[in-house]
Amino acid sequence: MRILVIEDDPDLNNQIKQSLEDSGYSVDTALDGEEGHFLGDTEPYDAVVLDLGLPKVDGITVLEKWRKEKKNFPVLILTAREQWSDKVSGFDAGADDYVTKPFQMEEVLARLRALIRRSAGHASSDIECGPLRIDTKSNRVFVNGTKLKLTSHEYKIIEYFLHHQDKVITRTELVEHIYDQDFDRDSNTIEVFIGRLRKKMGMDLIKTERGYGYRLSIEKE
């Protein structure tokens, strides 16, 4: 899962990035509205954390522009203002949730998780696919009740598959959602990860669609 954090305070920005990365997300950051809008416009994010008071272009404008351009990733706004009029204008612009500053990082994480889940159409923090179950709260993956030991990249891939079940996912898409912008991307490593995941799960839930990519599905062919 790849997340964009737009916050003009470098320290807070860094803290959020750290916490998100610790929770298994790939994170890109921007310090102003202009750069933030550009990133959101060009990169496929699964969710955005957006501060409203930003230099150059303010958060509401950024959000409105995205929504006009049909970008519909979930957006969590950070605001220092607690008045309802500010919150309402945030929602009017297309926000999905808000957190008021100062916040506990756990709150941001919990709300982001919920947003990503909801945007994928899942109601609970546990997502299942046949014998496979993932607890997005604790970043744990189970097969028939047994916990799998996964590296962070492996976890990111399986989480993405579970959020997009029965959908063909190309290698590029996987790369885009798993690595942050600065990472030296090599789509060949994806094959290695998929191979390792199949082995660790002990079953072939991730099918290869020749010429297209991969698909997570329980149906027998």
Q: Are 150 and 141 in contact, with CB atoms under 8 Å apart?
A: yes
Of the candidate spans 101-109, 137-145, 175-183, 187-195, the one that interacts with another protein by CB under 8 A turns out to be: 101-109
Per-residue x/- track, 114-153, another protein (CB under 8 A): x---x-----------------------------------
Question: DSSP character for 148?
Answer: P
Cβ proximity to another protein, 103 vs 142, nearer residue = 103
CB of 19 to another protein, least distance (A): 7
Q: Which of residues 26-85 bind another protein (CB under 8 A)?
A: 53, 80-85
Crossing angle of the two packed helices 152-163 and 171-178, in degrees rounded to 10: 120
Using the rule CB under 8 A, is 9 a contact of another protein?
A: yes
- How far apart (Å, rounded) are the C-alpha atoms in residues 101 and 111? 14
Nearest Cα to Cα of residue 87 among 107, 66, 63 = 63
Is the Cα torsion angle 36, 120, 177, 108 positive or negative in sign?
A: positive
Using the rule CB under 8 A, is 170 a contact of another protein?
A: no
Tokens of 158: 């399986």
Cβ proximity to another protein, 104 vs 146, nearer residue = 104
Cβ proximity to another protein, 12 vs 148, nearer residue = 12
Using the rule CB under 8 A, is 101 a contact of another protein?
A: yes
CB of 11 to another protein, least distance (A): 5
Beta bridge partners, 130, equal none
Beta bridge partners, 48, equal 4, 75
Q: How far is CA 35 from CA 26, 51, 96, 201, in A?
A: 18, 13, 21, 40
Q: Are 38 and 31 in contact, with CB atoms under 8 Å apart?
A: no
CB of 93 to another protein, least distance (A): 12
CB of 103 to another protein, least distance (A): 6
User: Which residues here bind another protein, judged by CB under 8 A?
Assistant: 9, 11-12, 15, 19, 53, 80-85, 87-88, 91-92, 96-98, 100-105, 114, 118
